[in-house]
Chain A
């Protein structure tokens, strides 16, 4: 095939312009990908990591059953999920999240009324976790309680 070495006055600038804009787009696309990847890495890095907890750490050891008489409650200040353990009878134990569903205040145990009350906006929950007063929009999260060898454990998972 004969090769035309002379630049074609009519087509050359058009081809040149096409190639130029193609490379411009390619360059912009590559730089854009770099940018997107960089931002994605930074965002996912800053997001608080899920702590790699062992199996035993998902269960909180509350303490001996004998130290929790009937009608009393104990607060456990777990960093991720603070909760109350309440002994309602010799057999029955209840564990409820201690975080108010309204604005995340920590609930107090009111022995006289047998309720968890919120000191911030006077929200109140019964022992099933249901809202019985005040502004909270949702019932409390209830946790599973187990007693093994006289020790109370609460499952946090």
Chain B
């Protein structure tokens, strides 16, 4: 123990460890300000004994879990990049090399696959929680805006990633997803411009790769940072009706809960990757459309809408939904946070969710 203290002391004379600690707090390690003039031990003790709302000990800490899954995706993605080659001639073979020849390559591939689904699901759940607990109320409107942005970025990240294995299934699934994106009036044409067209051509793969490994991840890191920065400024929101006295410190209450929840979460990802592996079919063939190619599950409601309505109408409607979601905190500004006190909006949300389910079903059926 004294050795580690001596090492910390030795380092502290040479670099500001508190500054490094503070850097990690900008990515959600702890909330609130850190005094850079204090030594690490004192500064971290201060940060870890700061009181947090009760929900940080419950299953509501989706934000930090989301960020952990995002880092996990970064690590597994980095490992996949050791072997992957983004060209139409080599992509399939290099994925095959990962899955068949590299040790645990299939496992890392599956973890990355299931990690991406988990990330989208967590971001969606987080929005539901924000809605139910009225987290987006003043002064936390930006929580919601960044949350919605992160959710859409994650779907784009998953869509670009789903093309990369270049097998028949992923190729046509990504094509269907691109069709949905292309119907959006302004965003669609911008995205088509980015990926070089509305069809999946040979040049598309490299662009998808660059978007997937550099562009979108950087954008997501930026929005995660913005989110944590907002949290540090305005503080975490207590649950509706919660008293200040119920707050508990970050350590040990919050941190141990976080460790337990993240172990359960990653255990679930590893289990799903083992028991329900994503299929890897034959090499993609742009001249043979397989029957029943659907877009990825998170695009199914939009796909259902595109299949039901004329393309322009569906695109405008989708764009309105996206903009409406982003603008929610500025539309609904009543100070109440309990669901009971905002019945109209709750009704709208229920109808919205039911519609999403119906459209998902239609999109799923239309896949054939």
A interface residues, Cβ below 8 angstroms from B: 34, 41-42, 44-47, 49-52
- Of A42, A45, A50, most buried by chain B (CB within 10 Å of CB) is A45
Closest to A38 in B: B75
Closest to A41 in B: B104
- Is the C-beta of B105 less than 8 angstroms from some C-beta in chain A? yes
Indicate with 1 or 0, residue by residue over B78-104, a CB within 8 angstroms of chain A CB atoms.
010010000000000000010011111
Which B residues from 190 to 218 make CB contacts under 8 A with A?
none
Say yes or no: A50 contacts B104, CB within 8 Å. no
CA distance A138 to B197 in the complex (A): 58
Min CB distance B217 to A, Å, is: 19
Closest to B100 in A: A52
Say yes or no: B101 contacts A51, CB within 8 Å. yes
Indicate with 1 or 0, residue by residue over B250-277, a CB within 8 angstroms of chain A CB atoms.
0000000000000100000000000000
CA distance A97 to B53 in the complex (A): 70
- Is the C-beta of B107 less than 8 angstroms from some C-beta in chain A? yes
Q: Which residues of A contact B65 (CB under 8 A)?
A: none
Say yes or no: B100 contacts A45, CB within 8 Å. no
Closest to A48 in B: B102
Say yes or no: B103 contacts A45, CB within 8 Å. yes
CA distance A139 to B336 in the complex (A): 85
CA distance A68 to B364 in the complex (A): 64
CA distance A46 to B80 in the complex (A): 9
CA distance A49 to B99 in the complex (A): 11
Q: Which 5 A-B pairs have the closest CB atoms?
A: A49-B101, A44-B103, A49-B102, A41-B104, A45-B104
Min CB distance B230 to A, Å, is: 31
- Of B97, B103, B108, most buried by chain A (CB within 10 Å of CB) is B103
Min CB distance B111 to A, Å, is: 10
Q: Name A's interface SS.
A: helix
Indicate with 1 or 0, residue by residue over B94-127, a CB within 8 angstroms of chain A CB atoms.
0001001111110110000000000000000000
Say yes or no: B79 contacts A45, CB within 8 Å. yes
Q: Which residues of A contact B97 (CB under 8 A)?
A: 49
Q: Which residues of B contact A51 (CB under 8 A)?
A: 101
Q: List 26 interface pairs A-B (beta carbons < 8 Å), by A numbering.
A: A34-B263, A41-B103, A41-B104, A41-B107, A41-B108, A42-B79, A44-B103, A44-B104, A45-B79, A45-B102, A45-B103, A45-B104, A45-B105, A45-B108, A46-B79, A46-B82, A47-B103, A49-B97, A49-B101, A49-B102, A49-B103, A49-B105, A50-B101, A51-B101, A52-B100, A52-B101
- Of A34, A42, A47, most buried by chain B (CB within 10 Å of CB) is A42
CA distance A41 to B82 in the complex (A): 14
Min CB distance B258 to A, Å, is: 13
Q: Which residues of A contact B103 (CB under 8 A)?
A: 41, 44-45, 47, 49
Closest to A44 in B: B103
CA distance A52 to B102 in the complex (A): 10
CA distance A109 to B107 in the complex (A): 47
Closest to A31 in B: B259
Q: Which residues of A contact B102 (CB under 8 A)?
A: 45, 49
Min CB distance A26 to B, Å, is: 13
Q: Which residues of B contact A52 (CB under 8 A)?
A: 100-101
Min CB distance A24 to B, Å, is: 11
Min CB distance B342 to A, Å, is: 43
Closest to A47 in B: B103
Min CB distance A80 to B, Å, is: 14
Min CB distance B25 to A, Å, is: 22
Min CB distance B273 to A, Å, is: 12
Closest to B102 in A: A49
- Of A46, A49, A52, most buried by chain B (CB within 10 Å of CB) is A49
Q: Which residues of B contact A44 (CB under 8 A)?
A: 103-104
Min CB distance A25 to B, Å, is: 15
Q: Which residues of A contact B101 (CB under 8 A)?
A: 49-52
CA distance A47 to B105 in the complex (A): 11
CA distance A46 to B81 in the complex (A): 11
Q: Which residues of A contact B263 (CB under 8 A)?
A: 34
Closest to B267 in A: A34
Min CB distance B320 to A, Å, is: 45
Q: Which residues of B contact A50 (CB under 8 A)?
A: 101
Q: Which residues of B contact A34 (CB under 8 A)?
A: 263
CA distance A50 to B92 in the complex (A): 19
CA distance A46 to B79 in the complex (A): 7
Q: Which residues of B contact A41 (CB under 8 A)?
A: 103-104, 107-108
CA distance A123 to B263 in the complex (A): 58
Given A44-B103, A45-B103, 14 other A-B residues pairs in contact with their CB atoms under 8 A: A41-B104, A41-B107, A41-B108, A42-B79, A45-B102, A45-B105, A45-B108, A46-B79, A46-B82, A49-B101, A49-B103, A49-B105, A50-B101, A52-B101
